[in-house]
Structure 1
Amino acid sequence: MEIEKAYRFKLEPTSEQAKKLAQMAGCGRVVFNDSLDYVLNIIKKSVAITDKKAIYEHLNDLSYQDRKLLKKSFPNSAFLNKQLTSWKKLNHRAWLDDAFTDCLQQRQRDFVKALDEWSKGKRGFPVFRTRKLSHHSTMRFPAPKKQINIQNKHIKLPNGLGLVRYHNSQPVIGELRNATVSLNAVGEWHISIMCL
């Protein structure tokens, strides 16, 4: 049986890199929120409720069977990825092109997973992401073997971030499976790496 090992390191980005990380996290939030808005518009067509709070109460009060039935009308990640391509062509969303597409598509997969967990009764219906909550500022790199390179006291990240200094407290051993960069409540960036 293969055992996964997790590593977490504090990043020390330059001011320019920190700005780029914040922009990428912001793009991820927007894509998550646009995907959620798209699904809520589908729901509004099937229920006679327009108030956001009332819609959430209704959705979270639905039975397991009703949740499964409603979820069949929701788009999958592949469809949302196509939507992302069209959103990038909109004048007010053209800046989405500045973010790493793989991270944006991963946010959509995370959103679809959240919908799936809601339909199974494991959690409430997904809520809009806000910059006020630090855990909403994350980006996951789904193919870290291609996207990330650990070099002594630096981690090379894609999308023009380059070599980002990090607190190398222990060697990373194993095959990289996924990596997530996140912001904590005091404004520090960290990277979590899962290895096999």
Structure 2
Amino acid sequence: MQLRYQFRLYPNPGQQQSLARAFGCARVVFNDALRAREEALAAGLPYPSDGDLSKQVITEAKKTSERAWLGEVSAVVLQQALADLNTAYRNFFASVSGKRKGRKVSPPRFRSRKDQRQAVRFTRNARWRITAGGKLCLPKIGDVRVRWSRDLPSAPSSVTVIRDAAGRYFASFVVEMPGEPLPEVAAEVGIDLGLTHFAVLSDGRKITSPKFLRRAERRLRKAQQALSRKQKGSQNRRKAVAKVARLHARVADARRDHHHKLSTRLVRDNQAVYVEDLAVSALARTRLAKSVRDAGWSQFVGMLEYKAGRSGRAFARVDRWFPSSKLCGACGTVAEAMPLNVREWACPCGAVHDRDINAARNILAAGRADRLNACGGTVRPSA
């Protein structure tokens, strides 16, 4: 299993300039290659091959006065920019033809120099290395100080240097992670995700939603009001933009930390984890959009999935059309309608249910049934 390990970088001012140059060169090569392919399409010419593009936008461009500064950065960075463009085109064509699952992918777009997030990737061909002193040695950049929060499990195959919107630098390593099966336990859990409570477990426990964005709204509002009063293009406006970005980064970091701790605990304590396959992108277009984005369900479920696979635990998503909230866990009766403001309901059989706990228990039962089903079919409501 391949995983990413991310560490904070602390480049000095000279190294920051070198990284900014690498970001800019990679962006220019990406845009030049994209423009060349669009012009060939508009002229009815054959699709330029990867070799022709590399020769045109890198090798030949370095010989011109307009692009001579491309030689100031590692050639691997420029080649990886072309690889990113090829990946974007493959994903687009696979999405158009129906071979790619999930949401439709749009064609590649030009990268803007005003984009606050920049990244470049170094493969093994770039001959980057980790020095004996624990620094990251990058070609034509130098030895960058790294804060190692943990050890790498294996030798990384590549490293991506990222500058986020808050002005922080990170090194993201791709490593091959062997499986680490945990001792088997008898417990299994079904999880009902929500907004009032972030997660309700089938054993009756309710995990309160931390609402990181809601708690930071006052500080964000003041920072954004101050930003709106700054003159465009001024140094004070750039400082205000960075302050807003730092506040958003603090919210995202706190949310990610919460998701990591909760997902690790659930995977460690349960042999099987079942969740509902929510349509998060659809819910994010409703009046609950801010609360849905603040909860970060997709990120949390993704963590559950890869941690369960690494630890030898079972993980499954229950079909979103399964009536987990309206199904009586005692007799199997399905209620006709149940508005969101109804948090408790009574079944004609006499059972009184807490809506969320009942949903979590039904998700657990449906997940178990689906897991034992030899056909592997999904659980859907009956006709």
TM-score in terms of structure 1 length: 0.79
User: Residues 93-149 of structure 1, C-alpha deviation per residue, up to 9 Å, x if partnerless?
Assistant: 0000101101101100111111111111252111111122233x2111121783222
Indicate the SS of the match to 1:88. Answer: helix
Aligned to 1:76, which of 49, 54, 57?
A: 49
Indicate the SS of the match to 1:179. Answer: strand
Larger helix percent: 1
Q: Which amino acid aligns with 1:17?
A: Q
Q: Which amino acid aligns with 2:116?
A: S
Contact kept? 1:134, 1:185, Cα under 8 Å: yes
Aligned partner of 2:18 in structure 1 is: 20
Measured after TM superposition, the shift of residue 183 of structure 1 is 0.9
Report the Cα distance in structure 2 between the residues aligned to 1:9 and 1:142, rounded to whole angstroms: 17
RMSD: 1.8
Report the Cα distance in structure 2 between the residues aligned to 1:165 and 1:35, rounded to whole angstroms: 33
**Are residues 30 and 104 of structure 1, via their aligned partners in 2, closer, same or farther at CA, if it must alter by over 3 Å?**
same
Aligned partner of 1:126 in structure 2 is: 108
Aligned partner of 2:120 in structure 1 is: 139
Measured after TM superposition, the shift of residue 162 of structure 1 is 1.5
Aligned partner of 2:37 in structure 1 is: 39
Measured after TM superposition, the shift of residue 150 of structure 1 is 4.5
Report the Cα distance in structure 1 between the residues aligned to 2:92 and 2:153, rounded to whole angstroms: 35
Report the Cα distance in structure 2 between the residues aligned to 1:167 and 1:127, rounded to whole angstroms: 34
Aligned to 1:178, which of 158, 161, 181?
A: 158
Q: Which amino acid aligns with 1:130?
A: S
Aligned partner of 2:8 in structure 1 is: 10
Report the Cα distance in structure 1 between the residues aligned to 2:81 and 2:126, rounded to whole angstroms: 19
Indicate the SS of the match to 1:92. Answer: coil
Q: Which amino acid aligns with 1:143?
A: R
**Are residues 177 and 145 of structure 1, via their aligned partners in 2, closer, same or farther at CA, if it must alter by over 3 Å?**
farther
Structure 1: give runs of 5+ residues left out of the alignment: 47-69
2:165 equivalent to 1:191: no
Report the Cα distance in structure 1 between the residues aligned to 2:13 and 2:127, rounded to whole angstroms: 25
Measured after TM superposition, the shift of residue 29 of structure 1 is 0.2
Indicate the SS of the match to 2:24. Answer: helix
Report the Cα distance in structure 2 between the residues aligned to 1:176 and 1:186, rounded to whole angstroms: 26
Aligned to 2:69, which of 72, 87, 95?
A: 95
Q: Which amino acid aligns with 2:127?
A: K
Q: Percent identity?
A: 31
**Are residues 144 and 171 of structure 1, via their aligned partners in 2, closer, same or farther at CA, if it must alter by over 3 Å?**
farther
**Are residues 120 and 5 of structure 1, via their aligned partners in 2, closer, same or farther at CA, if it must alter by over 3 Å?**
closer
Contact kept? 2:128, 2:136, Cα under 8 Å: no
Report the Cα distance in structure 2 between the residues aligned to 1:9 and 1:131, rounded to whole angstroms: 25
Aligned partner of 1:62 in structure 2 is: none
Aligned to 1:157, which of 138, 150, 156?
A: 138
Report the Cα distance in structure 2 between the residues aligned to 1:131 and 1:140, rounded to whole angstroms: 17
User: Residues 141-172 of structure 1, C-alpha deviation per residue, up to 9 Å, x if partnerless?
Assistant: 1217832224444111112x221001111111
Aligned length, in residue pairs: 167
Which is worse superposed, 23-32 or 109-118? Answer: 109-118
Indicate the SS of the match to 1:176. Answer: coil
Report the Cα distance in structure 2 between the residues aligned to 1:41 and 1:79, rounded to whole angstroms: 14
Report the Cα distance in structure 2 between the residues aligned to 1:5 and 1:147, rounded to whole angstroms: 19
